[in-house]
Amino acid sequence: MRLLFIGDIVGKPGRDMVRKGVRGLVEEHGIDLVIANVENSAAGFGVTKDIGDTLLEWGVDVMTSGNHIWDKKEVLHYIPTQPRLLRPANYPAGVPGRGSYVAQTRDGRPVGVINVMGRVFMLNIDDPFAVVLKEIEAVRARARVIVVDFHAEATSEKVAMGWHLDGKVTLVVGTHTHVQTADERILPNGTAYLTDAGMTGPHDSIIGMERQPSLARFLNGMPSRFEPATGNPRLNGVVVEADDQTGRATAVTRISHSEAELLAL
């Protein structure tokens, strides 16, 4: 089977790219299931019920997230009712929502999706390396093909997670930095790996936000209000081909498309 993973969707420009591009990408690559990180889909900060449900209508099957998942307060009511919206599994016990989901392709084949978050230069929550093994154990009885979105800042922590899970899952893909890396590969035991899927949103920006306020914070150290940028939207992500029986990845292709490229599909 073939899976499409879409990197962090930022604001309306990012959502527009999903609306315009997902159907074409699904057809072009023969995609069976679409996963997208939606932590920035509501004006750069969090996700709402309206936006989440709309992304699902447009062809996203499972939504992952990260540190921004709580930015819109209404998500506290949405996440308990929407099993297809994940938050990192390694938040402490008692936090609303779930960190994994077993989805079905249109023809009924199961795909496990797991979301965990790194701790280097981030919130010091539970150990993602231990928690992810427990989640894999729980999912594996129902799905051989498993995707892990590792939402993390440090390249070292992400690469470590790739090796930690080599042979245990189909794809380990990083999110959170909003800058796509070019290190896609299949590790020796059959796990496809990419340090960061990149950002689906405005690329004439500072990781999705308007350049001036973001730059000003670096120039003068004072707080400033960030708004999503609009220029040069791109859809970033990765396509992985997997063996249904073994769960091993057989091909991995990084994608980064402009709006014109998506519309031409």
SS (H, E, C) 68-136: HHHCCCCHHHHCCCCCCEECCCCCCCCCCCECEEEEECCCCCEEEEEEEECCCCCCCCCCHHHHHHHHH
Q: Nearest distance from residue 60's CB to Fe ion, in Å?
A: 15
Q: Which residues in the 162-191 window bind Fe ion by CB under 5 A?
A: 176
Inter-axis angle of helices 128-140 and 155-164, nearest 10: 40
Q: Nearest distance from residue 62's CB to Fe ion, in Å?
A: 16
Residue (17 or 102) nearer to Fe ion, CB: 17
Residue (18 or 186) nearer to Fe ion, CB: 18
Q: Which residues in the 130-149 window bind Fe ion by CB under 5 A?
A: none
Q: Binding pattern to Fe ion, positions 52-91, x when CB under 5 A?
A: --------------xx------------------------
Q: Does the active-site annotation cover 29?
A: no
Q: Point out which span in 5-13, 53-61, 107-115, 118-126 binds Fe ion (CB under 5 A).
A: 5-13
Q: Nearest distance from residue 139's CB to Fe ion, in Å?
A: 23
Residue 8 touching Fe ion (CB under 5 A): yes
Beta bridge partners of 175: 151
**Catalytic residue of the set 68, 151, 176, 203:** 68
Residue (66 or 162) nearer to Fe ion, CB: 66
Q: Are 101 and 147 within 8 A, CB to CB?
A: no
Amino acid at 94: G
Residue 157 touching Fe ion (CB under 5 A): no
# residues near Fe ion by CB under 5 A: 6
Residue (39 or 135) nearer to Fe ion, CB: 39
Residue 203 touching Fe ion (CB under 5 A): no
Name the residue among 249, 247, 230 with its Cα closest to residue 239: 249
For residue 216, give both structure tokens: 């000003």
Residue 115 touching Fe ion (CB under 5 A): no
Q: Point out which span in 33-41, 100-108, 129-137, 242-250 binds Fe ion (CB under 5 A).
A: 33-41
Q: How far apart are CA 209 and CA 142, in angstroms?
A: 40
Q: How far apart are CA 36 and CA 65, in angstroms?
A: 8
Residue (64 or 67) nearer to Fe ion, CB: 67
Q: Point out which span in 39-47, 54-62, 125-133, 245-253 binds Fe ion (CB under 5 A).
A: 39-47
For residue 98, give both structure tokens: 């779930």
Residue 40 touching Fe ion (CB under 5 A): yes
3-state helix, strand, coil in the chain (%, to 5): 30, 30, 45
DSSP codes of every residue in 207-220: TTB-HHHHHHHHHH
Residue (174 or 190) nearer to Fe ion, CB: 174
Name the residue among 38, 5, 43 with its Cα closest to residue 209: 43
Q: How far apart are CA 240 and CA 184, in angstroms?
A: 10
Contact residues for Fe ion, defined by CB under 5 A = 8, 39-40, 66-67, 176
Q: Which residues are catalytic?
A: 68
